[in-house]
Structure 1
Amino acid sequence: MARLTRRGLLAATLAAPALARAAAAPPRPLKLLILGGTGFIGPHQVRYALDRGHQVTIFNRGRQKEAWPGPVEELLGDRSTGDLKALEGRSWDACIDNPTTLPFWVRDAGKALAGHVGQYLFVSTVSVYADNHAAADETAPLLAYAGKDPLAETSAGPHRELYGPLKAASEGEARRQFGAAVTIVRPGLIAGPGDETDRFTWWPVRLARGGEIAAPGDGTDPVQFIDARDLAEWTIRLAEQRTFGVFNATGPAHELSMRAMLADIAAGVGVTPQLTWVPTAILDAEHVEAWSDMPAWVPGSGEDAGFARRRIDRALAAGLTFRPTATTAADTLAWFRTLPAERQATLHAGLTPEREAALLARVHAGKG
Structure 2
Amino acid sequence: MLIIGGTRFIGRHAVEEFLDHDYTVTLFNRGNHDNPFTNRADVRHVQGDRGDDERLLAAKRDVEPDVVVDCVAYFPDEVRRATEIFADVDAYVYVSSGSSYAADDIPKREGVTRLCDCSPDEAVEDSAASYGPRKAEGDRMVFSAAERGVNAMAVRPTVVYGPYDYTERFDYWLHKVNEHDRVVVPGDGTNVWQRVYVEDVASALRIVAEEGEAGEAYNVGDRNALTLEDTVAEAASALDTTVEPVYASDRELATVDLSLTDFPMYRESPHILDTHKLAALGWESTPVREAMQRTVEEHLDSDRTGEDEGPGRQAEERLIGVLEMV
TM-score of the aligned structures, taking structure 1 as reference length: 0.78
CA gap of 1:161–1:269, structure 2 versus 1, over 3 A, is same
- Alignment partner, residue 138 of structure 2: 170
The code of the aligned residue for 1:77 comes to G
| Farther-moved stretch of structure 1 (348-357 vs 178-187) | 178-187
- Alignment partner, residue 5 of structure 1: none
Matched, 1:250 2:221: yes
1:111 is displaced (CA, Å) by 2.9
Q: Is the 8 A contact 1:197 1:348 kept in 2?
A: no
TM-score of the aligned structures, taking structure 2 as reference length: 0.88
Measure, in 2, the Cα distance between the counterparts of 1:189 and 1:76: 28
Measure, in 2, the Cα distance between the counterparts of 1:214 and 1:352: 11
Matched, 1:240 2:200: no
- Alignment partner, residue 110 of structure 1: 83
Out of 300, 308, 315, the residue aligned to residue 348 of structure 1 is 308
- Alignment partner, residue 85 of structure 1: 57
1:288 is displaced (CA, Å) by 3.2
Out of 44, 68, 73, the residue aligned to residue 13 of structure 2 is 44
Aligned length: 318
Matches within 5 A, 1:303-342: 304=269, 307-340=270-303
- Gapped runs of 5+ residues in structure 2? none
Q: Is the 8 A contact 2:122 2:133 kept in 1?
A: no
Percent of matched pairs sharing the same residue? 25
1:124 is displaced (CA, Å) by 0.6
Measure, in 1, the Cα distance between the counterparts of 2:247 and 2:241: 18
- Gapped runs of 5+ residues in structure 1? 1-31
Matched, 1:76 2:52: no
| Farther-moved stretch of structure 1 (187-196 vs 214-223) | 214-223
1:242 is displaced (CA, Å) by 4.2
1:118 is displaced (CA, Å) by 1.2
CA gap of 1:46–1:136, structure 2 versus 1, over 3 A, is closer
CA gap of 1:236–1:164, structure 2 versus 1, over 3 A, is same
Cα deviations by residue, 1:264-288 (Å, 9 ceiling, x for unpaired): 1111111111222223442356553
Q: Is the 8 A contact 1:269 1:326 kept in 2?
A: no
Alignment root-mean-square deviation, CA? 2.4
The code of the aligned residue for 2:80 comes to R
Measure, in 2, the Cα distance between the counterparts of 1:76 and 1:360: 50
Find the residue that maps to 2:130 and give its secondary structure.
helix
Measure, in 1, the Cα distance between the counterparts of 2:296 and 2:60: 41
The code of the aligned residue for 1:87 comes to A
1:223 is displaced (CA, Å) by 3.6
Cα deviations by residue, 1:85-112 (Å, 9 ceiling, x for unpaired): 3234353222111111112211222232
1:69 is displaced (CA, Å) by 4.6
